[in-house]
Structure 1
Amino acid sequence: MANKALSLIPQLWFKFGLVRLWRLVPRPLRRRIVARIIPLPKRAGRRLAAPQAPVLMCGFLSSPLGLGWSARLTRGLVEEAGMPIRDFDIGHAFATGERDAALPDATGPATVLFTFNPGQFGYALQFLPADILRDKYIIGYCVWELEQIPENWLAPLSLVDEIWVPTHFVRRAFENAGVTLPIRIVPHIMQAPAGLAADRARFGWPEDAFVATVVASLRSSLARKNPLAAIDAFRLAFPRQENALLILKLGDSHLEAEALAKVRAHIGDDPRIRLLLDTLDDDDMWTLLASSDAIVSLHRAEGFGLVPAQAMLAGRPVIATGWSGNLDFMSDDTACLVPAKMIPVSDPSELYVAPDLHWAEPDIAQAAAHLRRLHDDPAEREALGQRARAGIETYFREAKAPVLAAIRQWKSAEES
């Protein structure tokens, strides 16, 4: 079973604030230290030639982070395909989930779905049963935001038999690194909750204001998510004290004090720009999007673009950088795509250390023009939201059918 002593580390580090000291160590050195302390285990037993039931879902199943949404959405696909599932929720190991319950049995032939990235394999496996790698077919559901995956992902990929990714952009990132494993594109397929409606009172927003919203986790790199660009675009679009608000829904601010301080400094004393730092459950997040007039994502790179996809399903217009994973489900007809120039990757948080690669620098003036147009033309705003919803529903419907068909072909151990 999982190493009990190791399982206490995240809770203790966050409880006593030691994580802040750990983060003073440069991120590349931290990765080397972890790799030395927690070596990658080897697979035991036989490798199954093909996926088969049951499916062991391993990931941050109770986490509000994007990886948590990814795990739950992937689980939903497997469940809809009729496969028996055993859940292995290890969000607590990364201080992202709430549960720390006993894990189910992992013995016997099965398909394992890791819904976290290869760089996390070694650490995550310390919290999973020893038999999780024995006599299994292993699929890694992986997401990356640059044009090539990190070199330190290649060794952990020796543990998996197949890779799932959400977009063509991410598939190319693996192929550009020379990965030859089978790669299947499995988008984050979802649908808006039934009866979804705006509820501005829930968030204390005025009913008559134009509300543009940014949603980002500060743990996902301030430089990549780029909310400061949204602030600049908002001020350029609305230079006077007009009836417009910019909401910055920022997750994990308690873990990223330096990033939050940069955001606060950029906002200054502008009362039209509000921070929302509460942790929202899935239903409240949908309500947040439905209560907004526009969603802004001036990212420098996205592996998928979960929030923009949700906003489109909620019938809300999206202003987004016209580059990377979100282009799988966005076009100029269904979103306000912002042109960008390519610049070398530079990330002070060192989450993305790839100066030889590039990411996007969105055009602030064009983003501001989109904001102004959506503010001034409610009819076009509504029409764009409806086109967005129709477009992404079609995209998900067409993507879903082949994925379900493939999963339904997986056999049980008794049938093999």
Structure 2
Amino acid sequence: MKTNSCTEDTLIGTQAEGAHDEERHLNKPVVTGQLKEQTLKDPQLPVRWYGPIFNPSGYASEAIDFLLPLKARLNIGLKHQNPVYSEKFVEGLAPSVRENLFDMRNRFDSLNGGITVDHNPANGFLRPPDADYCIGRTMYETDRIPPQWVAACNRMDEIWVPSHFNVETFANSGVERDKLIVIPGSVDSNFFDPRKHEILELPNKASYNFLSIFEWSSRKAWDITLAAYLREFSAADDVCLYLRTYQFSRPDGDPAEALWREIREFAATLDLGNREWPRIELLTEQVASNQLPCLYKAADCLVGISRGVGWGR
């Protein structure tokens, strides 16, 4: 896939929404362990951030948008805490973003004590034995959370969730309510300003183009999207559905052949008769992070169907 030119705006120095809410909360005094004589205002207080940083996941996207604005304000290091590490994702980061993330990664081992932020599904929360204060950042899609999540959350000092909905669902499931803090998700609105980006060139483009971006799984409802599209349109319509999709366990692989087989098998169950399909294009190659705004700009309609997402990143 090619693009004419796509601005590689650095995220550093921008007003990343949500990160400021987080910073203000880090400035709140606490009295626990070795922090009795300190407050979280101390810019040299170590902050260690755990999570999936270097893969194309929603957790990684959110973590990066938190970490970059905080780097200049806090003594912060990061650790990639996930079995899936994507070289293509790392290569696709804007050079300044990659450099700043690597700098925080290199700083991590020199930090001890202080605050930890575990940015993960709650069943993966850890409490490092030397940490003074442990925060979990997570979210969940439904009106209750699993019992193991409740136990993991209650072992932390605070739980950051993106919405009041999750405050209620976590508390009603048994998480201690006074641990729950709403920290909105962080996004760089400057980076996603369409006026600053060119349109990404797409193959087989139509007069009207749909785009859906998701991990290939039943939860992301690819079958509902395809059923609606194939029943509504035919080859007589000048439309195209672009599916930017991947298998999470193999984000750098090319699953196109397997996915096309699954699509054909599913379409055979829809009783479409002999009608020819409208255009469908699988985009299984990773799109570099700094080109995502260009991809969004290339579509006329973004399709976001799902059986449940924590936040929809």
Give the alignment's TM-score, normalised by structure 2: 0.68
Residue aligning to 2:199: 199
Match for residue 74 of structure 1 among 66, 69, 76: 66
The yes-or-no answer on 1:273 pairing with 2:273 is no
CA spacing shift, 1:160–1:253, aligned 2, 3 Å = closer
- CA contact under 8 A between 2:212 and 2:243: conserved in structure 1? yes
- CA contact under 8 A between 1:61 and 1:68: conserved in structure 2? yes
CA distance in 2, matches of 1:282, 1:267: 32
Residue aligning to 1:262: 262
CA spacing shift, 1:253–1:303, aligned 2, 3 Å = closer
CA distance in 2, matches of 1:114, 1:263: 37
- How far is the alpha carbon of 1:281 from its aligned partner? 2.2
| Higher normalized helix content (fraction of residues) | 1
Match for residue 227 of structure 2 among 202, 223, 232: 232
Residue aligning to 1:110: 114
The yes-or-no answer on 1:86 pairing with 2:77 is yes
- CA contact under 8 A between 1:253 and 1:277: conserved in structure 2? no
- Stretches of structure 1 that go unaligned for 5 or more consecutive residues are 1-44, 126-131, 307-416
CA distance in 1, matches of 2:302, 2:200: 15
CA spacing shift, 1:115–1:135, aligned 2, 3 Å = closer
What amino acid maps onto 1:62 in structure 2?
F
What amino acid maps onto 1:139 in structure 2?
I
Match for residue 57 of structure 2 among 65, 86, 98: 65
What amino acid maps onto 2:122 in structure 1?
P
Match for residue 185 of structure 2 among 185, 188, 208: 188
Higher relative contact order at CA 8 Å, sep ≥6: structure 1 or structure 2? 2
Residue aligning to 2:209: 211
CA distance in 1, matches of 2:118, 2:134: 8
CA spacing shift, 1:156–1:48, aligned 2, 3 Å = farther
- How far is the alpha carbon of 1:237 from its aligned partner? 3.1
CA distance in 2, matches of 1:266, 1:84: 51
Match for residue 147 of structure 2 among 144, 151, 155: 151
Match for residue 46 of structure 1 among 33, 37, 45: 33
Residue aligning to 1:293: 300
What amino acid maps onto 1:189 in structure 2?
S
Q: Secondary structure at the match of 2:287?
A: coil
- How far is the alpha carbon of 1:162 from its aligned partner? 0.6
CA distance in 1, matches of 2:68, 2:184: 12
CA spacing shift, 1:236–1:270, aligned 2, 3 Å = closer
Q: 1:115-137: CA deviations, max 9, x gaps?
A: 11221236xx8xxxxxx441421
Which is worse superposed, 108-117 or 252-261?
Answer: 252-261
Identity %: 22
- How far is the alpha carbon of 1:197 from its aligned partner? 3.0
CA distance in 2, matches of 1:65, 1:215: 11
Give the alignment's TM-score, normalised by structure 1: 0.52
Q: Secondary structure at the match of 1:154?
A: helix
Q: 1:216-250: CA deviations, max 9, x gaps?
A: 112xxx22210211112223332452110011111
- How far is the alpha carbon of 1:154 from its aligned partner? 2.4
- How far is the alpha carbon of 1:78 from its aligned partner? 2.9
Aligned length: 246
What amino acid maps onto 2:33 in structure 1?
R
CA spacing shift, 1:240–1:104, aligned 2, 3 Å = closer
- Stretches of structure 2 that go unaligned for 5 or more consecutive residues are 1-31, 91-101, 269-275
CA distance in 2, matches of 1:286, 1:112: 32
CA distance in 2, matches of 1:178, 1:48: 27
What amino acid maps onto 1:277 in structure 2?
T
What amino acid maps onto 1:89 in structure 2?
H
- How far is the alpha carbon of 1:200 from its aligned partner? 3.9
- How far is the alpha carbon of 1:107 from its aligned partner? 4.8
What amino acid maps onto 2:81 in structure 1?
I
CA distance in 2, matches of 1:57, 1:302: 23
- CA contact under 8 A between 2:52 and 2:60: conserved in structure 1? yes
Q: Secondary structure at the match of 2:153?
A: helix
CA distance in 2, matches of 1:58, 1:300: 28
Q: Secondary structure at the match of 1:173?
A: helix
Q: Secondary structure at the match of 1:153?
A: helix
Q: Secondary structure at the match of 1:64?
A: coil
- How far is the alpha carbon of 1:71 from its aligned partner? 1.1
CA distance in 2, matches of 1:109, 1:287: 41
Q: 1:179-213: CA deviations, max 9, x gaps?
A: 11422222222115255434242x3242x521111
Q: 1:11-59: CA deviations, max 9, x gaps?
A: xxxxxxxxxxxxxxxxxxxxxxxxxxxxxxxxxx937476463321211
The yes-or-no answer on 1:247 pairing with 2:242 is yes
CA distance in 1, matches of 2:160, 2:140: 12
What amino acid maps onto 2:51 in structure 1?
G
